[in-house]
Amino acid sequence: MIGTPNKERAASRMTMGTASAGGTPRDPAAKRCVVVGATARAFVESAARAGWVAHAADLFGDVDLAAAAVEVVRLGAAGIAPYPDGIPGVVSSFPEAACVYTGALENHPDVIAAIAAVRPLAGCSTDAIRRVRDPAAVAAVVRDAGLQFPDTYRSPTGLPTDDSFLVKPLRSAGGRGVHRWRGAMLNHAARDVIWQRFVRGDCRSASYVARHGAAQLVGSSRPLTGASWCGGREFSYCGSVDLPLDDLPDGLRQTFERLGGAVAAAFDLTGLFGIDLVVDAAGEVHVLEVNPRPTASMELLERSTGWSVAAAHLAACGWCAEPRGGAATGDVWAKAIAYAPHTVTSASVAETIASLTDGWTAADGRPAVADIPRADEQPVPGAPLVTVFARGDTHDRAVAALRRRVLRLRRSIANGLIRGALDPRAS
Protein backbone atom coordinates (compact mmCIF):
# COMPACT_ATOMS: atom_id res chain seq x y z
CA MET A 1 0.00 0.00 0.00
CA ILE A 2 1.20 3.48 -0.74
CA GLY A 3 2.73 5.32 2.21
CA THR A 4 0.64 8.00 3.89
CA PRO A 5 1.93 11.55 3.42
CA ASN A 6 2.32 13.65 6.90
CA LYS A 7 -14.10 27.19 -18.17
CA GLU A 8 -14.94 26.99 -21.20
CA ARG A 9 -12.70 29.33 -23.25
CA ALA A 10 -10.83 29.67 -28.53
CA ALA A 11 -10.78 26.29 -30.10
CA SER A 12 -7.34 24.75 -29.89
CA ARG A 13 -5.15 21.71 -30.17
CA MET A 14 -1.80 22.82 -28.83
CA THR A 15 1.34 20.72 -29.18
CA MET A 16 3.95 21.98 -26.76
CA GLY A 17 6.90 19.86 -27.89
CA THR A 18 9.57 20.12 -25.22
CA ALA A 19 7.74 22.65 -23.05
CA SER A 20 7.32 21.76 -19.40
CA ALA A 21 6.01 23.28 -16.19
CA GLY A 22 9.57 24.08 -15.17
CA GLY A 23 10.64 25.33 -18.58
CA THR A 24 13.16 22.51 -19.14
CA PRO A 25 13.19 19.98 -22.02
CA ARG A 26 11.25 16.77 -21.52
CA ASP A 27 12.90 13.36 -21.78
CA PRO A 28 11.24 11.77 -24.86
CA ALA A 29 11.55 8.35 -23.18
CA ALA A 30 9.68 9.44 -20.05
CA LYS A 31 6.48 7.71 -18.98
CA ARG A 32 3.37 8.89 -20.76
CA CYS A 33 -0.23 9.42 -19.67
CA VAL A 34 -3.44 10.99 -20.95
CA VAL A 35 -5.55 13.18 -18.67
CA VAL A 36 -9.15 14.13 -19.52
CA GLY A 37 -12.03 15.80 -17.73
CA ALA A 38 -13.63 19.18 -17.12
CA THR A 39 -10.28 20.46 -15.88
CA ALA A 40 -6.97 18.61 -16.17
CA ARG A 41 -4.40 21.17 -14.98
CA ALA A 42 -3.77 19.99 -11.40
CA PHE A 43 -3.21 16.33 -12.28
CA VAL A 44 -1.09 17.16 -15.33
CA GLU A 45 1.17 19.44 -13.27
CA SER A 46 1.58 16.72 -10.66
CA ALA A 47 2.37 14.15 -13.36
CA ALA A 48 4.94 16.46 -14.96
CA ARG A 49 6.68 16.99 -11.62
CA ALA A 50 6.84 13.19 -11.25
CA GLY A 51 8.53 12.81 -14.64
CA TRP A 52 5.53 11.86 -16.78
CA VAL A 53 4.75 13.21 -20.23
CA ALA A 54 1.07 14.16 -20.29
CA HIS A 55 -1.42 14.72 -23.11
CA ALA A 56 -4.55 16.51 -21.92
CA ALA A 57 -8.07 17.43 -22.96
CA ASP A 58 -10.34 19.68 -20.92
CA LEU A 59 -12.80 22.56 -21.22
CA PHE A 60 -10.33 25.38 -20.76
CA GLY A 61 -6.88 24.84 -22.30
CA ASP A 62 -5.44 27.29 -19.81
CA VAL A 63 -1.96 28.80 -20.04
CA ASP A 64 -0.49 26.72 -17.22
CA LEU A 65 -2.01 23.49 -18.55
CA ALA A 66 -0.36 24.19 -21.91
CA ALA A 67 2.95 24.75 -20.10
CA ALA A 68 2.75 21.41 -18.26
CA ALA A 69 1.41 19.12 -21.02
CA VAL A 70 3.05 18.16 -24.31
CA GLU A 71 -0.30 18.40 -26.07
CA VAL A 72 -3.62 19.98 -25.13
CA VAL A 73 -6.99 19.63 -26.83
CA ARG A 74 -9.74 21.98 -25.83
CA LEU A 75 -13.24 20.56 -25.46
CA GLY A 76 -16.71 22.04 -25.43
CA ALA A 77 -18.47 24.66 -27.55
CA ALA A 78 -15.27 26.73 -27.86
CA GLY A 79 -13.11 23.68 -28.55
CA ILE A 80 -12.57 21.20 -31.35
CA ALA A 81 -14.54 18.33 -29.79
CA PRO A 82 -17.79 18.25 -27.80
CA TYR A 83 -17.75 17.65 -24.05
CA PRO A 84 -18.07 14.93 -22.92
CA ASP A 85 -19.10 12.84 -25.92
CA GLY A 86 -16.10 13.82 -28.02
CA ILE A 87 -13.54 12.72 -25.43
CA PRO A 88 -13.13 9.09 -26.60
CA GLY A 89 -12.26 10.28 -30.09
CA VAL A 90 -9.73 12.77 -28.75
CA VAL A 91 -8.19 10.10 -26.50
CA SER A 92 -7.79 7.75 -29.47
CA SER A 93 -5.88 10.51 -31.32
CA PHE A 94 -3.31 10.70 -28.52
CA PRO A 95 -0.42 8.20 -28.28
CA GLU A 96 -1.10 4.88 -26.59
CA ALA A 97 -0.99 5.55 -22.84
CA ALA A 98 -2.85 5.08 -19.58
CA CYS A 99 -5.85 7.40 -19.41
CA VAL A 100 -6.71 9.26 -16.19
CA TYR A 101 -10.12 10.91 -15.87
CA THR A 102 -10.61 13.87 -13.57
CA GLY A 103 -13.44 15.91 -12.14
CA ALA A 104 -17.03 15.64 -13.38
CA LEU A 105 -16.35 12.82 -15.85
CA GLU A 106 -17.63 10.28 -13.30
CA ASN A 107 -21.08 11.65 -14.20
CA HIS A 108 -20.70 10.11 -17.66
CA PRO A 109 -19.92 6.40 -17.22
CA ASP A 110 -20.85 5.67 -20.84
CA VAL A 111 -18.10 8.04 -21.96
CA ILE A 112 -15.62 6.35 -19.61
CA ALA A 113 -16.65 2.99 -21.02
CA ALA A 114 -15.97 4.31 -24.52
CA ILE A 115 -12.54 5.54 -23.40
CA ALA A 116 -11.80 2.11 -21.94
CA ALA A 117 -12.57 0.59 -25.33
CA VAL A 118 -9.69 2.50 -26.96
CA ARG A 119 -7.19 3.04 -24.13
CA PRO A 120 -6.41 1.42 -20.77
CA LEU A 121 -7.97 3.26 -17.83
CA ALA A 122 -5.97 4.41 -14.83
CA GLY A 123 -8.77 4.63 -12.31
CA CYS A 124 -12.00 3.01 -11.22
CA SER A 125 -13.80 0.75 -13.65
CA THR A 126 -17.01 1.81 -15.34
CA ASP A 127 -18.97 -0.68 -13.23
CA ALA A 128 -17.48 0.70 -10.02
CA ILE A 129 -18.35 4.25 -11.06
CA ARG A 130 -21.96 3.39 -11.83
CA ARG A 131 -22.44 1.76 -8.45
CA VAL A 132 -20.61 4.27 -6.29
CA ARG A 133 -22.50 7.19 -7.85
CA ASP A 134 -25.83 5.61 -6.86
CA PRO A 135 -26.94 7.39 -3.64
CA ALA A 136 -28.98 4.39 -2.49
CA ALA A 137 -26.01 2.04 -2.87
CA VAL A 138 -23.70 4.41 -1.00
CA ALA A 139 -26.28 4.92 1.74
CA ALA A 140 -26.50 1.18 2.34
CA VAL A 141 -22.72 0.80 2.66
CA VAL A 142 -22.37 3.85 4.89
CA ARG A 143 -25.13 2.77 7.25
CA ASP A 144 -23.75 -0.77 7.43
CA ALA A 145 -20.50 0.85 8.57
CA GLY A 146 -22.37 2.50 11.43
CA LEU A 147 -22.33 6.02 9.98
CA GLN A 148 -25.04 8.36 8.75
CA PHE A 149 -26.35 9.15 5.26
CA PRO A 150 -28.92 11.94 4.80
CA ASP A 151 -32.50 10.98 3.99
CA THR A 152 -32.62 10.99 0.20
CA TYR A 153 -35.64 10.78 -2.11
CA ARG A 154 -36.31 10.63 -5.84
CA SER A 155 -39.56 12.60 -5.51
CA PRO A 156 -40.48 15.70 -3.44
CA THR A 157 -43.95 14.39 -2.64
CA GLY A 158 -44.68 15.05 1.01
CA LEU A 159 -41.36 16.78 1.72
CA PRO A 160 -41.34 20.03 3.71
CA THR A 161 -40.42 23.27 1.94
CA ASP A 162 -38.80 24.91 4.98
CA ASP A 163 -35.17 24.73 3.74
CA SER A 164 -34.63 21.41 5.49
CA PHE A 165 -34.09 19.68 2.11
CA LEU A 166 -31.85 20.37 -0.86
CA VAL A 167 -32.40 19.62 -4.54
CA LYS A 168 -29.26 18.09 -6.07
CA PRO A 169 -28.61 17.05 -9.68
CA LEU A 170 -27.48 13.46 -9.94
CA ARG A 171 -24.90 14.46 -12.54
CA SER A 172 -23.13 17.51 -11.19
CA ALA A 173 -19.86 18.59 -9.63
CA GLY A 174 -18.63 21.51 -7.55
CA GLY A 175 -22.07 22.20 -6.09
CA ARG A 176 -23.49 23.35 -9.42
CA GLY A 177 -27.26 23.17 -9.53
CA VAL A 178 -27.69 22.52 -5.80
CA HIS A 179 -30.29 24.71 -4.12
CA ARG A 180 -32.71 24.73 -1.22
CA TRP A 181 -36.05 23.00 -1.77
CA ARG A 182 -38.85 25.54 -1.40
CA GLY A 183 -41.45 23.86 -3.55
CA ALA A 184 -40.59 25.55 -6.85
CA MET A 185 -41.31 23.72 -10.06
CA LEU A 186 -38.29 22.06 -11.65
CA ASN A 187 -37.34 21.72 -15.29
CA HIS A 188 -35.72 18.35 -14.65
CA ALA A 189 -37.08 14.87 -15.06
CA ALA A 190 -37.39 13.16 -11.69
CA ARG A 191 -34.54 10.81 -12.61
CA ASP A 192 -32.12 13.74 -12.97
CA VAL A 193 -32.31 15.07 -9.40
CA ILE A 194 -32.62 13.92 -5.82
CA TRP A 195 -34.02 15.58 -2.73
CA GLN A 196 -31.67 15.23 0.23
CA ARG A 197 -32.00 16.37 3.83
CA PHE A 198 -29.70 19.30 4.60
CA VAL A 199 -27.20 18.42 7.35
CA ARG A 200 -25.73 21.23 9.40
CA GLY A 201 -22.22 20.91 10.70
CA ASP A 202 -18.55 21.01 9.82
CA CYS A 203 -18.02 20.10 6.16
CA ARG A 204 -15.02 17.86 5.51
CA SER A 205 -13.47 15.86 2.70
CA ALA A 206 -11.38 12.73 3.17
CA SER A 207 -8.85 11.58 0.58
CA TYR A 208 -7.88 7.95 -0.02
CA VAL A 209 -5.84 5.74 -2.29
CA ALA A 210 -7.33 2.33 -3.05
CA ARG A 211 -5.88 -0.91 -4.37
CA HIS A 212 -7.40 -4.40 -4.54
CA GLY A 213 -10.48 -3.34 -2.55
CA ALA A 214 -8.50 -1.82 0.33
CA ALA A 215 -8.12 1.90 1.04
CA GLN A 216 -5.64 4.03 2.91
CA LEU A 217 -6.52 7.46 4.27
CA VAL A 218 -3.93 9.89 2.87
CA GLY A 219 -5.40 13.33 3.56
CA SER A 220 -8.27 15.46 4.73
CA SER A 221 -9.49 18.96 3.96
CA ARG A 222 -12.23 21.46 4.70
CA PRO A 223 -14.10 22.73 1.63
CA LEU A 224 -14.85 26.40 1.16
CA THR A 225 -18.47 26.35 0.06
CA GLY A 226 -20.46 29.36 -1.09
CA ALA A 227 -17.75 31.83 0.03
CA SER A 228 -19.04 35.31 -0.82
CA TRP A 229 -15.52 36.74 -0.96
CA CYS A 230 -14.79 34.37 -3.86
CA GLY A 231 -17.89 35.52 -5.71
CA GLY A 232 -19.42 32.05 -5.56
CA ARG A 233 -23.06 31.19 -5.13
CA GLU A 234 -24.53 29.30 -2.19
CA PHE A 235 -23.36 25.65 -2.21
CA SER A 236 -20.82 26.27 -4.99
CA TYR A 237 -17.37 24.82 -4.43
CA CYS A 238 -15.00 27.73 -3.81
CA GLY A 239 -11.86 25.91 -2.72
CA SER A 240 -10.37 23.88 0.12
CA VAL A 241 -8.08 24.08 3.13
CA ASP A 242 -5.73 21.17 3.79
CA LEU A 243 -6.13 19.58 7.24
CA PRO A 244 -3.08 17.52 8.25
CA LEU A 245 -3.98 14.00 9.33
CA ASP A 246 -1.89 14.39 12.48
CA ASP A 247 -4.21 17.20 13.56
CA LEU A 248 -7.38 15.09 13.31
CA PRO A 249 -8.83 13.83 16.60
CA ASP A 250 -8.07 10.12 16.94
CA GLY A 251 -11.72 9.13 16.92
CA LEU A 252 -12.47 11.07 13.75
CA ARG A 253 -9.40 9.72 11.99
CA GLN A 254 -10.39 6.17 12.86
CA THR A 255 -13.90 6.84 11.55
CA PHE A 256 -12.50 8.17 8.28
CA GLU A 257 -10.28 5.11 7.95
CA ARG A 258 -13.17 2.72 8.61
CA LEU A 259 -15.38 4.59 6.15
CA GLY A 260 -12.81 4.56 3.34
CA GLY A 261 -12.14 0.86 3.82
CA ALA A 262 -15.84 0.02 3.70
CA VAL A 263 -16.46 2.09 0.55
CA ALA A 264 -13.39 0.81 -1.32
CA ALA A 265 -14.24 -2.81 -0.54
CA ALA A 266 -17.94 -2.52 -1.39
CA PHE A 267 -17.38 -0.81 -4.74
CA ASP A 268 -13.95 -2.21 -5.67
CA LEU A 269 -12.41 1.24 -6.11
CA THR A 270 -8.96 1.76 -7.61
CA GLY A 271 -6.64 4.74 -7.29
CA LEU A 272 -7.36 8.06 -5.62
CA PHE A 273 -10.87 8.87 -4.46
CA GLY A 274 -12.54 11.30 -2.09
CA ILE A 275 -15.53 11.31 0.23
CA ASP A 276 -17.48 14.47 1.08
CA LEU A 277 -19.09 14.48 4.51
CA VAL A 278 -20.39 16.57 7.39
CA VAL A 279 -19.56 16.22 11.08
CA ASP A 280 -22.56 17.44 13.05
CA ALA A 281 -22.62 19.12 16.46
CA ALA A 282 -22.89 15.73 18.20
CA GLY A 283 -19.81 14.41 16.37
CA GLU A 284 -21.80 12.13 14.06
CA VAL A 285 -20.38 11.67 10.57
CA HIS A 286 -22.82 12.08 7.67
CA VAL A 287 -21.56 11.01 4.24
CA LEU A 288 -22.77 13.12 1.31
CA GLU A 289 -21.12 11.52 -1.73
CA VAL A 290 -18.13 9.60 -3.05
CA ASN A 291 -15.95 11.01 -5.85
CA PRO A 292 -14.24 8.04 -7.56
CA ARG A 293 -11.25 9.92 -9.01
CA PRO A 294 -8.55 12.43 -7.97
CA THR A 295 -10.31 15.38 -6.35
CA ALA A 296 -9.76 19.15 -6.41
CA SER A 297 -8.41 19.32 -2.86
CA MET A 298 -5.62 16.79 -3.42
CA GLU A 299 -3.18 19.27 -4.94
CA LEU A 300 -3.07 20.91 -1.50
CA LEU A 301 -1.95 17.59 -0.04
CA GLU A 302 0.92 17.56 -2.52
CA ARG A 303 1.88 21.13 -1.62
CA SER A 304 1.80 20.34 2.10
CA THR A 305 3.70 17.05 2.01
CA GLY A 306 5.62 16.88 -1.26
CA TRP A 307 3.92 13.51 -1.88
CA SER A 308 3.11 13.04 -5.57
CA VAL A 309 -0.63 12.77 -6.15
CA ALA A 310 -0.23 11.70 -9.78
CA ALA A 311 2.42 9.08 -9.01
CA ALA A 312 0.31 7.71 -6.14
CA HIS A 313 -2.72 7.34 -8.39
CA LEU A 314 -0.80 5.78 -11.27
CA ALA A 315 1.02 3.43 -8.88
CA ALA A 316 -2.24 2.24 -7.34
CA CYS A 317 -3.49 1.55 -10.86
CA GLY A 318 -0.38 -0.52 -11.61
CA TRP A 319 1.45 1.90 -13.92
CA CYS A 320 4.52 2.77 -11.85
CA ALA A 321 6.27 2.19 -8.55
CA GLU A 322 4.92 3.74 -5.39
CA PRO A 323 6.12 7.32 -4.84
CA ARG A 324 8.49 8.14 -2.07
CA GLY A 325 7.50 10.57 0.64
CA GLY A 326 8.27 14.21 -0.03
CA ALA A 327 9.40 17.12 2.10
CA ALA A 328 6.62 18.58 4.22
CA THR A 329 6.44 22.37 4.33
CA GLY A 330 5.09 22.55 7.88
CA ASP A 331 2.44 25.03 6.72
CA VAL A 332 -1.27 24.73 6.03
CA TRP A 333 -2.11 25.28 2.35
CA ALA A 334 -5.41 26.63 1.06
CA LYS A 335 -6.85 27.32 -2.38
CA ALA A 336 -9.84 29.28 -3.64
CA ILE A 337 -11.61 29.70 -6.94
CA ALA A 338 -11.90 33.39 -7.73
CA TYR A 339 -15.10 33.90 -9.69
CA ALA A 340 -15.09 36.67 -12.27
CA PRO A 341 -16.58 39.97 -11.07
CA HIS A 342 -19.32 41.65 -13.07
CA THR A 343 -16.87 44.21 -14.43
CA VAL A 344 -14.15 42.20 -16.12
CA THR A 345 -12.08 42.24 -19.31
CA SER A 346 -9.30 40.00 -20.55
CA ALA A 347 -6.91 42.95 -20.30
CA SER A 348 -7.76 43.58 -16.65
CA VAL A 349 -7.26 39.89 -15.82
CA ALA A 350 -3.86 39.76 -17.53
CA GLU A 351 -2.74 43.02 -15.91
CA THR A 352 -3.81 41.92 -12.45
CA ILE A 353 -2.10 38.56 -12.67
CA ALA A 354 1.09 40.14 -13.97
CA SER A 355 1.12 42.85 -11.29
CA LEU A 356 0.10 40.93 -8.20
CA THR A 357 1.03 37.30 -8.37
CA ASP A 358 4.80 37.31 -8.86
CA GLY A 359 5.31 38.57 -5.32
CA TRP A 360 2.87 36.03 -3.91
CA THR A 361 4.63 33.23 -5.76
CA ALA A 362 8.03 34.37 -4.51
CA ALA A 363 6.74 34.48 -0.94
CA ASP A 364 5.21 30.99 -1.12
CA GLY A 365 7.83 29.22 -3.21
CA ARG A 366 5.07 27.77 -5.41
CA PRO A 367 2.79 29.35 -8.05
CA ALA A 368 0.20 31.48 -6.27
CA VAL A 369 -2.31 31.53 -9.14
CA ALA A 370 -3.34 28.68 -11.42
CA ASP A 371 -5.86 27.95 -14.17
CA ILE A 372 -4.75 31.12 -15.93
CA PRO A 373 -6.88 32.01 -18.97
CA ARG A 374 -5.27 32.87 -22.28
CA ALA A 375 -4.69 36.55 -22.99
CA ASP A 376 -7.32 36.57 -25.75
CA GLU A 377 -9.96 34.89 -23.57
CA GLN A 378 -12.92 37.10 -22.68
CA PRO A 379 -13.96 36.21 -19.11
CA VAL A 380 -17.59 35.48 -18.31
CA PRO A 381 -18.90 37.42 -15.28
CA GLY A 382 -19.80 35.05 -12.46
CA ALA A 383 -17.87 32.11 -13.95
CA PRO A 384 -14.71 30.58 -12.42
CA LEU A 385 -11.76 32.75 -13.38
CA VAL A 386 -8.54 31.60 -11.69
CA THR A 387 -7.45 29.52 -8.69
CA VAL A 388 -5.56 31.33 -5.93
CA PHE A 389 -3.31 29.68 -3.31
CA ALA A 390 -1.99 30.82 0.07
CA ARG A 391 -0.38 29.25 3.09
CA GLY A 392 -0.08 29.94 6.79
CA ASP A 393 1.17 28.28 9.96
CA THR A 394 -2.43 27.61 11.06
CA HIS A 395 -5.74 26.91 9.35
CA ASP A 396 -7.15 30.34 10.22
CA ARG A 397 -4.07 32.22 9.05
CA ALA A 398 -3.99 30.34 5.77
CA VAL A 399 -7.65 31.16 5.12
CA ALA A 400 -7.15 34.80 6.13
CA ALA A 401 -4.20 35.16 3.73
CA LEU A 402 -6.19 33.45 0.98
CA ARG A 403 -9.18 35.72 1.53
CA ARG A 404 -7.02 38.86 1.32
CA ARG A 405 -5.48 37.69 -1.93
CA VAL A 406 -8.77 36.76 -3.56
CA LEU A 407 -10.45 40.00 -2.56
CA ARG A 408 -7.53 42.05 -3.80
CA LEU A 409 -7.37 40.18 -7.08
CA ARG A 410 -11.11 40.43 -7.77
CA ARG A 411 -11.25 44.12 -6.85
CA SER A 412 -8.23 44.90 -9.02
CA ILE A 413 -9.79 43.07 -11.96
CA ALA A 414 -13.10 44.86 -11.44
CA ASN A 415 -11.34 48.23 -11.35
CA GLY A 416 -9.36 47.36 -14.46
CA LEU A 417 -6.27 49.09 -13.12
CA ILE A 418 -3.49 48.09 -10.75
CA ARG A 419 -2.14 50.97 -8.71
CA GLY A 420 1.61 51.07 -8.91
CA ALA A 421 1.80 52.24 -5.32
CA LEU A 422 0.53 48.87 -4.09
CA ASP A 423 3.25 46.49 -2.95
CA PRO A 424 2.79 43.33 -5.04
CA ARG A 425 4.48 41.27 -2.31
CA ALA A 426 1.72 42.05 0.17
CA SER A 427 -0.57 39.23 1.22
Residue 189: inside a domain: yes
Residue 302 lies in a domain: no
Structural domain contains residue 110: no
Residue 158 in domain: yes
Low-confidence ranges of the chain (pLDDT < 50): 1-4, 6-13, 15-29, 417-427
Of the candidates 198, 227, 257, which is a domain's last residue?
198
Whole-number pLDDT of residue 419: 43
What pLDDT sits at residue 174? 67
Query: Looking at the domain assignment, is residue 164 inside a domain?
Result: yes
Q: What own/partner pairs with CB < 8 Å and gap ≥ 24 does 226-234 have?
A: 226/175, 227/336, 229/403, 229/406, 229/407, 230/336, 230/337, 230/338, 230/339, 230/406, 230/410, 231/338, 231/339, 231/340, 231/341, 231/382, 231/410, 232/337, 232/339, 234/179, 234/180
pLDDT at position 215, please?
A: 98
The range of the structural domain enclosing residue 342 comes to 332-415
pLDDT at residue number 35: 98
At 333 the pLDDT is: 98
The answer to whether residue 98 sits within a structural domain is no
pLDDT for 220 equals: 97
Closest alpha carbon to 147 in 309, 343, 279: 279
Of 175, 198, 221, the residue at which a domain comes to its end is 198
Amino acid 325: pLDDT: 75
Is residue 327 in a domain?
A: no
| Counted domains in the chain | 2
What is the per-residue pLDDT for 267?
98
What single-letter DSSP state applies at residue 127? Answer: H
The answer to whether residue 18 sits within a structural domain is no
Q: What is residue 9's predicted lDDT score, i.e. its pLDDT?
A: 29
Q: What is the reported pLDDT for 186?
A: 60
Residue 8: what pLDDT?
30
Of 181, 198, 215, which residue sits at a domain end?
198
Q: What is the pLDDT of residues 384-397, one digit of tens each?
A: 999 999 999 999 99
Whether the bond into 84 is cis, omega within 30 of 0: yes
